[in-house]
């Protein structure tokens, strides 16, 4: 063996139709724990040190290639003429001079990186032209069987349709993942003849290697359920469960408490800091990042959001939002996309926020809606306060400065600005800007002293009495 080791290469087979999924979506694009099946395969290859694999596409090639982007090279197999044909086409897409070629399938998302590492190590140890991954299963129906000789050494892989009774009784199956000596593989692929159905079987390479008098290696998968590919949606759901458990265990080993892994769903893409605590019935999805010491759940659903240290999210839904440290969210809050909540805020009891920023120490509870708004520090948003941000055609912004107190049921008709330290009375409808420090009341909201001024005995020049409209500008810095 050469002392110079080149980087290993890999070919991922993904041209097949995946008929048993009964789907209009290509099989390898079905999601599993928040990522596509093929993404999981590419992730594991990457962890095993294989950076730019070649994916062989065919059915749904446009969509599959789009989804893969620059993660891997792709080559098309226009006609699915069998796995040997697919690998031959894949070889055409390999760059460089790899001495080992790993072949696996785009629908085997649970295969761990360690399996690939062990497979490549075994190939090098034996100097074998081919090493096959097998698994022992209860029901081998549909799989190629590994036939061993008297001495236990591998002799051939026989496909189900070509197998007799004795071979069908074998429980050791070919999972469809192999490591090949690259040079040998190039020559051997040309020696595969079509099967009775006209397909070119990659599995024929085992018998070809033995015919060449070369050793064939076998690596037995520790967990069969991780090794075998997904063929239908029942297998997809089973894989989801295994993947979820694996993700939860990785977080727990990293110092995250997951109180009840069986009712917790964490996508493969989520990051969680040390000593964070994930309470039962919680779903964490997409590009979510949970900082250390945060407590999420019970009953939280967080998607594509960042949660700061020590923040507590209880029975709430958060989408594409950022929440700073020491915040309390929930129960029953909804942070819609574009919400930014500052440190020490308290948000709960049917509070809804959308595309808005809340400064430090602000409180929002009790049936309130803040949309398209910029809210300062230490603002108290009274029960039922609402931004009327939409005039039927366009959305407008509301600005609420630091230390404003919004009375119960304040309606802010945007665009409008409420100045620093201002107060609104219960039920005010704020249609014009409020000066700093002012208290406004009524419908439409006007400075309280002008309203009082309407009473008998008030000075001349006071605006109209009672609820009569106040002349424009009367409330601006009077
Ligand atoms: C194949 C193996 C079988 C093994 C099983 C494991 C062969 C001949 N048989 O059988 O021993 O037990 O996988 O699942 O290889 N593909 C292409 N192009 C093709 C044909 C297939 O890209 O022309 C891809 C498919 O998308 C799939 C993989 O190769 O990802 C396996 O193909 P599939 O048709 O599932 O092979 P099986 O008949 O199940
Ligand atoms: Ca298959």
pLDDT score for 478: 35
Classify residue 69 by its DSSP letter.
T
Going from the Cα of 232 to the center of ligand 2, the distance in angstroms, rounded, reads: 10
Rg (CA), the chain: 32
- Give the burial class of 477: count Cβ atoms within 10 A of its Cβ; 0-12 exposed, 13-18 middle, 19 or more buried: exposed
Strand, coil or helix: 158: strand
**Residue 13 CA: which ligand 1 atom is closest?**
22
pLDDT score for 468: 41
396 belongs to the catalytic site: no
User: The tokens 């008929």 sit on which residue?
Assistant: 19
Whether residue 175 has its Cβ less than 6 Å from ligand 1: yes
pLDDT score for 450: 86
Whether residue 59 has its Cβ less than 6 Å from ligand 1: no
pLDDT score for 455: 53
pLDDT score for 282: 98
Strand, coil or helix: 13: strand
Intervals of the chain under pLDDT 70? 1-5, 453-478
Instruction: Report which bound ligand comes closest to the CA of 231.
Output: 2
- Region label for 261, one of left (φ > 0), alpha (ψ between -120 and 50) or beta (otherwise): alpha
Going from the Cα of 29 to the center of ligand 2, the distance in angstroms, rounded, reads: 15
Classify residue 235 by its DSSP letter.
H
Interatomic CA distance for residues 244 and 226, integer angstroms: 13
Going from the Cα of 91 to the center of ligand 1, the distance in angstroms, rounded, reads: 17
Whether residue 143 has its Cβ less than 6 Å from ligand 1: yes
In this predicted model, what pLDDT tens digit does every residue of 376-413 receive, in sequence order? 999 999 999 999 999 999 999 999 999 999 999 999 99
Burial track 7-45 (b if 16+ CB lie within 10 A, e otherwise): ebbbbbbbbbebeebebeebbbbbebbbbbbbbbbbebb
**Other CB atoms within 10 A of residue 274 CB:** 11
pLDDT score for 246: 96
Whether residue 144 has its Cβ less than 6 Å from ligand 1: yes
Tell me the whole-structure pTM to 2 decimals.
0.89
pLDDT score for 5: 60
Contacts of 22 (CB under 8 A, 6+ apart): 232, 233
- Taking 3-state DSSP, the helix, strand and coil percentages for the chain, each rounded to the nearest 5, stand at 20, 30, 50
């Amino acid at each position: 063996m050469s002392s110079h080791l080149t980087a290993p290469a890999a070919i991922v087979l993904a041209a097949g139709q995946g008929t048993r999924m009964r789907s209009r979506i290509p099989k390898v694009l079905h999601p599993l724990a928040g990522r596509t099946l093929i993404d999981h395969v590419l992730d594991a290859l990457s962890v095993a040190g294989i950076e730019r694999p070649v994916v062989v596409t065919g059915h749904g090639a446009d969509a599959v290639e789009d989804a893969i982007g620059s993660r891997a090279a792709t080559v098309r197999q226009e006609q699915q003429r069998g796995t040997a044909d697919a690998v031959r086409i894949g070889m055409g897409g390999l760059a460089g001079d790899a001495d080992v070629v790993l072949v696996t399938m785009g629908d085997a998302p649970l295969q761990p990186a360690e399996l690939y590492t062990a497979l490549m190590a075994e190939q090098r140890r034996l100097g074998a032209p081919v090493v096959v991954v097998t698994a022992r299963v209860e029901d081998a129906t549909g799989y190629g069987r590994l036939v061993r000789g008297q001495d236990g050494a591998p002799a051939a892989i026989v496909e189900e349709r070509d197998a007799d009774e004795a071979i069908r009784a074998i429980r050791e199956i070919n999972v469809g993942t192999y490591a090949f000596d690259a040079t040998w593989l190039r020559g051997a692929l040309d020696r595969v003849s079509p099967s009775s159905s006209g397909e070119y079987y990659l599995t024929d390479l085992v018998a070809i290697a033995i015919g060449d008098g070369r050793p064939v290696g076998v690596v037995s998968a520790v967990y069969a359920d991780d090794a075998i590919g997904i063929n239908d949606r029942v297998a997809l759901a089973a894989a989801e469960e295994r993947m979820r458990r694996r993700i939860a265990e990785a977080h727990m080993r990293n110092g995250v408490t997951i109180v009840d892994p069986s009712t917790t769903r964490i996508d493969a893409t989520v990051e969680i800091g040390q000593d964070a605590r994930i309470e039962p019935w919680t779903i964490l999805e997409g590009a979510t990042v949970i900082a250390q010491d945060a407590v999420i759940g019970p009953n939280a659903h967080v998607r594509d959001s960042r949660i700061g240290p020590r923040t507590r999210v209880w029975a709430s839904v958060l989408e594409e939002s950022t929440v700073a440290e020491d915040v309390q969210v929930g129960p029953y809050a909804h942070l819609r996309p574009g919400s930014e909540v500052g440190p020490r805020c308290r948000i709960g009891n049917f509070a809804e926020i959308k595309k808005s920023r809340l400064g430090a120490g602000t409180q929002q509870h009790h049936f309130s809606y803040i949309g398209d708004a910029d809210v300062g520090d230490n603002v108290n948003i009274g029960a039922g306060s609402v931004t009327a941000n939409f005039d039927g055609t366009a959305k407008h912004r509301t600005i609420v400065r630091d230390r404003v107190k919004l009375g119960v049921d304040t309606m802010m008709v945007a665009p409008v600005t409420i100045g620093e330290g201002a107060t609104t009375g219960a039920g005010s409808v704020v249609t014009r800007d409020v000066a700093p420090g002012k208290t406004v009341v009524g419908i439409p909201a006007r400075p309280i002293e002008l309203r009082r001024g309407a009473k008998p005995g008030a000075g001349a020049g006071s605006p109209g009495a009672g609820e009569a409209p106040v002349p424009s500008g009367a409330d601006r810095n009077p």
